[in-house]
Structure 1
Amino acid sequence: MSAIHLRLGALAAAVALLAVSSGHALAQKRYDVGATDTEIKIGNIMPYSGPASAYGVIGKTEAAYFNKINAEGGINGRKINFISYDDAYSPPKTVEQARKLVESDEVLLIFNSLGTPPNTAIQKYMNQKKVPQLFVATGATKWNDPKDFPWTMGWQPNYQSESIIYARYILKNHPNARIAVLYQNDDYGKDYLKGFKDGLGSKAASMIMIEESYEVSEPSIDSHIVKLWSSGADVFFNITTPKFAAQAIKKNAEIGWKPLHFLNNVSSSVGSVLKPAGLENAQDIISSNYLKDPTDPQWKNDPGMIAWNEFLDKYYPEANRSDAAVMYGYTVAQGMVHVLKACGDNLTHENIMKQAASIRDLELGGLLPGIKVNTSPTDFAPLAQLQLMRFKGDTWERFGDILSGDVGG
C-alpha cells in the first residue's frame, strides 16, 4: 500500500512540476525578428516626394507620436524604432523599400504604408514573407480579405462604401442628376468608381453622362475639367488625390462650372486641398469623414482634441493643424500602439495579426462620436462608418446620421 502511495505521490509531483514548467513556458517572452526586450522595429513607406507628397505629413505625425510613446516609457518597456522611407508614390520604388525594410532593416512589421498602387505592389510579397502589412493607408476594399491575404489589414472606411453613400444621397435628393466623374486611373480611382456605380445600381448608365480618367504623372488636369463641364453635367464626383483635387476645385471656379460637387474624403483636408484651391471656391462641396475636423470650432473643448493639440505642442509644433492628414496619422498611430500593448511579451508576426483582428469597440480621441474600431478574424476593416459633411465658410459642417455603405460580395 505504501509503495502505491509513493508512486501516486511521485506522479502527482511530476504532474505539478509539468504544470509549473508549462506555465513558465507560457510566460516566456516570444519574439520574431524586429522585437527584443528593449525595442520594437516598425517599418513605414510614405510619398515624401512626388505627386502624392501632401500625404507625407502622415509619416511625420506618426514618427512624432512614437517619439511621445518612447518619451513616456515605450510599450511594455520597449522603445519603438520607426523606420520610414520615401517611395514617391511609385510602386516599383515601394517594392524596393519594402524589401529593404524586411530583409535589411529586419522590421517586425510594415505599418500604414500609403497608397493603393504602392500597397498592391507589395501585398503578395508581404504575405509570402508572413510579415504584417498592417493598417495600410488606403481605403481600397481589397485590404479586407483575411482568407487570401491574412497578413494585410486596412484601417480607414473603404472607398466603395464611401462612394455608395454618395450614390444613395444623389438617388434620394437628386434623382434626375446628370453626373460627371473624374477619377485617378489606378486601383484607387477604379475602386471608388465601382462603389459609385454599384450604389447607383440600374440608374448608373443613364445618370453618368461622362467618365474621365487622368494619370498621376500629369502635371495638370485642367483639360479634363473643361471636358467634364462641356458634358452639361450638374453633379460632379471628384475622385482625386490632394494635388489634383485642389486643381479641380480651382479650375471649376475659373470656368464658372458650379455643379453639386462630391469630393472623396481622402482629399477633404482644409489645409492641404481647400486652402490652396481657395476657400471661396470650395463652398458647398460635399464630402464625408470619420475623424474630427481640427478646423471645426465645435471641438475646441473636446478632450480628444485637447490631447491632440497638447501632443502637437510638444512633439510636432511645426504641424499644419488645419491638415486632416495630421489627425489621420495621429489616430492610426494610436491604433498601432493599442495592438502592440495588447501583444504583451508575445511580439510575433502571428500574435500581432491576432491582436489586430480582435479589436472591440475601440474609441480613439480623433474619431467622430459614435465611430468605433472593430475587427474580427473574418473582418479586416477596422473602420466602416462615415458622416456626410458640407463645406461652409472656412470649415466643414457635418449633417445627417452616421452611415455605413454596405459592400456586397
Structure 2
Amino acid sequence: MSAIHLRLGALAAALALLAVSSGHALAQKKYDTGATDTEIKIGNIMPYSGPASAYGVIGKTEAAYFSKINAEGGINGRKINFVTYDDAYSPPKTVEQARKLVESDEVLLIFNSLGTPPNTAIQKYMNQKKVPQLFVATGATKWNDPKDFPWTMGWQPNYQSESIIYARYILKNHPNARIAVLYQNDDYGKDYLKGFKDGLGAKAASLIVIEESYEVSEPTIDSHIVKMKATGADVFFNITTPKFAAQAIKKNAEIGWKPLHFLNNVSSSIGSVIKPAGMENAQDIISSNYLKDPTDRQWKDDPGMVAWNAFLDKYYPEANRSDSAVMYGYTVAQGIAHVLKGCGDNLTRENVMKQAASIRDLELGGLLPGVKVNTSPTDFAPLSQLQLMRFKGDTWERFGEILSGDVGG
C-alpha cells in the first residue's frame, strides 16, 4: 500500500474519530426551554402577601441561596435565573402565575411553590405541559403519585405520616384522651386529619370529642378555641398555618385551657409562631422536626449550622435566624442544586425528573442527623423521617428516636 493511501486512511480514520467525538459532544448537551450554555431559569410561586405571608421568607432564602451559587460560578458553569411571583395563597392567582412562568418566562421547571390548595390548582396543568413541579412546599400525601402525576414531586415528610406519629404517641401515652382537633378547611388540613384518624384507628371515633374547622379567610380563630375548651378535651391537635397557630396558642393561655397540645410541624417556627404567641404560653407543646432548629444551642458548632450562618451573613443578613422557614428554604435549595448538578449538560425536563427520582441517602447540612433524602421512580417522597420535640424555656427539645410514619406502615 502506498504512503499516500496510508495517509488518506489515517486521515479518514481521524475524520471518523472527530465526527464520533464531536457527535458525542453534541449529544451530551441537551436543552429544553429554560436552559442554555449559560443559564438555568427556575420559576417559583410564594405567598409574599395574604394569610400565609409568614412563609414568604422561604422564597427570599432561596433567592439568596441562588445568589450564592451564582457568585461561586453557578451549576456546571450555568447561572441560576430565579423568577419568583406572589400568589397571596390564592389558587386562581397561582394558576395565573404558573401560566406566566411556563408560557411567557419560559422556565425549565417550577420549584418549591408553596401551599396545598395553590399546588393542587396547577398540578394538572404542569403535568399536561410536562414541566417539572418539583419539591413543592407542602407535605400533602398526594404529591407522591408518580404513576398519575409523573411531573410533580414533594419534599418534606408528608402530613399523614406526621399525624400518624402523633396519634401513635397519644395511643401509647394517653390511651383515654379526649381529643379536640382544629384544622384548616382545605386539602392541607384534611390531609393531616386523615392521617391522624388513620393513626388512631378504631379508637378515633371514641377519642376525638370535637373536630372544628376554620376558613383561611377568617380574621381570628378565637371562637373555635372557646368552643373546644367547653368540651372538656384534654388533648388538642392544632392543624393550622402560622398566623392561626400563634392565635391558638395565645387564646389557650388567655382562657386557661391547658390540654396536651400537639402543633403541626409547618407552624413550629419559633420566629414566626412561638415568639408572637408568647414563649411562656407555648411551654410543653409537642411538635416534630426533620430540620435542625437554629435556636438550639447544641448545634452552635455543628458544621452544617456554621455553613448556614456564614451563608446568611453574606447573602441574607436581614434574615430572622429563629425562623425555621429560613432553614427550610436553604435546605430545599440545596436539594434542587443537587438535582441540577446531577443533570450535567442534559438539561431536559425529562432528565430533571429522572435525576430528582434517583436520589440516594443524600445528607444535607440542615437536616437532623440520621435524616436522609431518598427517592426512586416509584417513590416521590424525598423525606419521610421525623423526630418528636417539646417546647421548653425558649427552645425545642428533641426526644425519642428518629421515626418514620410511613402511610400504611
Fold match (TM-score > 0.5) = yes
Superposed, 1:199-278 pairs within 5 Å as: 199-278=199-278
Structure 1 partner of 2:290: 290
Matched, 1:180 2:177: no
1:115 CA displacement: 0.1
How big is the shift at 1:77?
0.7
Match for residue 47 of structure 2? Answer: 47
1:344-378 Cα deviation digits (max 9, x unpaired):
00000000000000100000000000000000000
Give 1:406 deviation, angstroms.
1.5
Shift of 1:2: 14
Match of 2:140 in 1: 140
Change (3 A) 1:231 1:4: farther
Between the aligned partners of 1:67 and 1:5, the Cα distance in structure 2 is 58
Q: Deviations over 1:177-234 (max 9, x none)?
A: 0000000000000000000000000000000000000000000000000011101100
Quote the offset at 1:36 in angstroms: 0.5
SS at match of 2:154: coil
| Root-mean-square deviation (Å) | 2.5
SS of 1:74's equivalent? coil
1:15 & 1:311 partners in 2: Cα distance? 49
Work out the CA distance in 2 between the residues paired with 1:4 and 1:192.
79
Determine the C-alpha separation between the residues in 2 that align with 1:97 and 1:141: 24
SS of aligned partner of 1:36:
coil
Give distance in 2, aligned partners of 1:173 and 1:167.
Answer: 10
Specify the SS of the correspondent of 1:212. Answer: strand
Confirm whether residue 150 of structure 1 aligns to residue 111 of structure 2: no
Unmatched 5+ stretches in structure 1: none
Q: How far 1:24 sits from its partner (Å)?
A: 1.3
The alpha-carbon distance between structure 1 residues 6 and 307, as it changes in their structure 2 partners (threshold 3 A), is closer
Between the aligned partners of 1:388 and 1:402, the Cα distance in structure 2 is 8
Q: Per the alignment, do residues 378 and 14 of structure 1 end up closer, same or farther by CA in structure 2, a change over 3 Å counting?
A: farther
- Relative distance call for 1:259 and 1:346 in structure 2 (3 A) is same
After TM superposition, give the deviation of residue 23 of structure 1 in Å. Answer: 5.8
Secondary structure, aligned partner of 1:147: coil
**1:228 and 1:238 mapped to 2: Cα distance?**
11
Q: Distance in 2 between matches of 1:366 and 1:345?
A: 28
Residues 317/14 of structure 1: CA separation in 2 closer, same or farther (3 Å cut)? closer
Q: CA deviation at 1:16?
A: 6.6
For residues 38 and 22 of structure 1, the distance between their equivalents in structure 2, rounded to whole angstroms, comes to: 20
- Sort the Cα spacing of 1:72 and 1:10 in 2 relative to 1 into closer, same or farther, 3 A: closer
Query: Which whole-Å CA distance do the structure 2 matches of 1:15 and 1:230 have between them?
Result: 86
Query: Relative to 1, partners in 2 of residues 1:203 and 1:289: Cα closer, same or farther, differing over 3 Å?
Result: same
Provide closer, same or farther for how the CA distance between residues 307 and 227 of structure 1 changes in structure 2, counting only shifts above 3 A. Answer: same
Alpha-carbon distance in 2 for matches of 1:90, 1:374: 31
Task: State the SS of the aligned residue for 1:41.
Answer: strand
Query: What's the CA shift for 1:28?
Result: 3.1
Report the Cα offset of residue 380 of structure 1: 0.3
Provide the rounded CA distance (Å) in 2 between the counterparts of 1:8 and 1:71: 49
In structure 2, list runs of 5 or more residues that go unmatched.
none
CA change 1:8–1:408 in 2 (3 A) is farther
Deviation at 1:18, TM superposition (A): 10
Change (3 A) 1:282 1:19: same
Q: 1:22 to 1:276 in 2, by over 3 A?
A: same
CA pair 4-199 structure 1, distance change in 2 beyond 3 A = farther
Taking a change above 3 Å as real, the CA distance of residues 38 and 19 of structure 1, as seen in their structure-2 partners, is closer
Q: Distance in 1 between matches of 2:3 and 2:74?
A: 56
Per-residue CA distance 1:146-172 (angstroms, 9 max, x = gap): 000000000000000000000000000
Pick closer, same or farther for the CA change 1:313–1:4 going to 2, 3 Å: closer
Residue aligned with 1:106, SS: coil
User: 1:37: how far off?
Assistant: 0.6
CA distance in 2, matches of 1:240, 1:119: 18
Displacement of 1:408: 2.1
Q: Judging changes above 3 Å, is the alpha-carbon distance between structure 1 residues 11 and 317 closer, same or farther for their aligned structure 2 residues?
A: closer
The C-alpha deviation readout for 1:1-35, integer Å capped at 9, x for no partner, is: 99999999999969975992586156431000000
Equivalent-residue separation in structure 2 for 1:405 and 1:15 (angstroms): 59
Tell me the alpha carbon deviations over residues 218-276 of structure 1, each in whole angstroms, 9 at most, x when there is no partner.
00000000011101100000000000000000000000000000000000000000000
C-alpha distance in structure 1 between counterparts of 2:21 and 2:300, whole Å:
54
Deviations 1:273-327 (A, max 9, x none): 0000000000000000000000000000000000000000000000000000000
Change (3 A) 1:323 1:21: same
Deviates more, 1:1-10 or 1:261-270: 1-10
SS class of match (1:14): helix
Query: For 1:176 and 1:322, how far apart are their aligned partners in 2?
Result: 36
Q: Any idea what SS the aligned residue of 2:97 has?
A: helix
Asked if 1:117 is matched to 2:114, the reply is no
Question: 2:122 & 2:101 partners in 1: Cα distance?
Answer: 12
Structure 1 pair 11/143, CA: closer, same or farther in 2 (3 Å)? farther
- May I ask how many residue pairs the two structures share in their alignment? 409
Cα pair distance change 1:149/1:4, threshold 3 Å = farther
Listed as ranges, the matches of 1:7-406 within 5 Å are: 20=20, 24=24, 27-406=27-406
Q: Distance in 2 between matches of 1:233 and 1:4?
A: 97
Give TM-score scaled by structure 2 length.
Answer: 0.96
Distance 1:233 1:5, change over 3 A: farther
Cα 1:17–1:185 change in 2 (3 A) is same
